[in-house]
Amino acid sequence: MNVIIHRDTTLPNNINLAHFKRNPELGPKILFFSGGTALRGLSRKLVHYTYNSIHIITAFDSGGSSAKLREAFHMPAVGDIRARLMDLADQSMQGNREIYALFAYRFPQKAHNSELMKELDKMASGKHRLVARITDPMRKIICTHLCRFRKKMPEDFDLRGASIGNLVLTAGYLENRRHLDPVISIFSKLVQVRGLVRPIANKYLHLAAELENGSVIVGQHLLTGKETKPISSRIKKIFITDDFENPHPYELKLRTKMTGLIRKADLICYPMGSFFTSILSQLLVKGVGEAIAATSVPKIYIANTGWDPECFGYTVMEQVDALLEYGRIGDQAKAPSDLISAVLIDRKNGNYPGGIDDDYFARQGIKLIDYSIISSASKPFIDENMLLPVLLALC
């Protein structure tokens, strides 16, 4: 099936695919506003076609082991950053598989904390089996960071379930005057990350939501339906706050360097995943919508094809309305197509509560791309093998 996007672009574009695969270092700058696991499979495959993808990651994750680090050090979340760095790392490079195994390792949940302290000390000394098989200079750098974390760690810090990669990044953050970009850059070079990963914010902040039933929820993990029961009332609005106990909107401005990254993109993608906490939350940062609207590149929203607990009560059209509303923060005059050029769906194989209203997209001036991106094996979710050629053809 070929879908005409505009007069000189068709899907799939096999010529583009072959060119990118031969020359990934010259590949397109596809920018993703993303967060967690929904983009992991695509990221691992993307590195074979481009080394230039840009991943802007949310920093408000408040669940799991990230929450313990955030509370102990008043810092942005690093878990999704660590995962994306490893997904984009060159796995063919000698030693990277060993680093991946270490960074993905988590301390057992049921072990006593004193036992985990001993295991951490063994890692910091380089004697732990996962650290010992990593070659220098990376082993020394990792050991140094783990030693630094051990020294700065509160004595009552709970190590159960902690990701070693998160501990290493935390140490780097603390050593670099509480900035994440320097430690991300260092590790990106050491493990040959084939892309650019940056947090949307470098501050200790929280994501809050007001539901239509009047209740206010503070904490990203309480909205995703992964660690708690899914919400039973539709989300009315979300906002960033710096006060967990007395939540009120906090104005967070986009850093200048992030504005530059957005404006350099060849394609901007709002991907599938947790709609409010991974994608929409980034548009809350003042300046993001302006930077997106200032570019003339395609801007694609990939609608979820499975159940997203955060989108309780929302149709695809209402999701697009929300993207436009938050993208227009600071400038209500933006045209819809300034923020979203097209919405990608698979009408035949996807499940879209409320259906798809073609007239709505025509009125908004937003193209509707209906293409097969769900396989029998991936259903009801998107197959990254089918999605990847579509994104590359749109660049």
Residue where a domain stops, chosen among 149, 173, 192: 192
Contact yes or no for 162/150 (Cβ under 8 A): no
Q: Answer yes or no: is 334 within a domain.
A: yes
192, 217, 238 - which closes a domain: 192
Same domain, 54 and 100: no
Quick one: pLDDT at residue 333? Answer: 65
Angle at 347 between CA 4 and CA 13, to 5 degrees: 30
Which pLDDT value is given to residue 369?
96
Does 154 share its domain with 107? Answer: yes
First to last CA, the chain: 19
**Cα separation, 319 vs 68, whole angstroms:** 32
Structure confidence at residue 116 (pLDDT): 97
Residues 259 and 360 in one domain: yes
Residues 31 and 105 grouped into a single domain: no
Over residues 29-57, the pLDDT tens digits come to 999 998 678 899 999 999 999 999 999 99
For tokens 């140490």, the residue is 171
The count of structural domains within the chain is 2
Domain extent for 187: 91-192
- Judge whether 24 lies within some domain: yes
What is this structure's pTM?
0.94
Examine the domain organization and report whether 53 and 96 are in the same domain.
Answer: no
- Domain assignment present for residue 206? The answer is no
**Residue carrying the six token digits 């990118």:** 20
Position 208 in a domain? no
pLDDT at position 308, please?
Answer: 87
Q: Dig out the tokens for 212 from the structure.
A: 């239509």
Say if 233 falls within a structural domain.
Answer: no
Residue 52 forms part of a structural domain:
yes
Same domain? For 388 and 268 the reply is yes
- Residue 282: which residues within 8 A CB-CB, separation 6 or more? 33, 56, 58, 200, 288
User: Given this model, what pLDDT does residue 4 score?
Assistant: 38
DSSP letter (8 states) at residue 382: P
Rounded-to-5 percentages of helix, strand, coil across the chain: 45, 15, 45
In a domain, 360, yes or no: yes
User: What is the per-residue pLDDT for 63?
Assistant: 82
Whether 375 and 276 map to the same domain: the answer is yes
Nearest to 142 by CA among 79, 109, 96: 96
Which residue, among 385, 332, 344, 342, has the nearest Cα to 365 in the 3D structure?
Answer: 342
Both 126 and 39 in one domain: the answer is no
Dihedral-angle region of residue 160 (phi above 0 means left; psi in -120 to 50 means alpha; beta otherwise): beta
User: In sequence order, which residues have a C-beta less than 8 Å from that of residue 143 and are 6 or more positions away?
Assistant: 123, 124, 125, 126, 131
Of 192, 218, 237, which residue is a domain's last?
A: 192
Whether residue 30 is found in the same domain as residue 112: no
Q: Which two tokens stand for residue 96?
A: 């990277």
Query: Could you report the per-residue pLDDT of 333-383, keeping only the tens digit for each?
Result: 688 999 999 999 999 999 999 999 999 999 999 999 999 999 999 999 999
Nearest to 222 by CA among 272, 277, 270, 275: 277
pLDDT of residue 7: 36
Say yes or no: 267 and 379 in one domain.
yes
DSSP-based three-state secondary structure for 308: coil
Residues of the chain whose pLDDT is less than 70? 1-10, 12, 35, 332-333
Q: How far apart are CA 346 and CA 352, in angstroms?
A: 9
pLDDT at position 5 is: 47
Please check whether residues 51 and 101 belong to one and the same domain. no
385 & 258 share domain: yes
* 199 domain-assigned: no
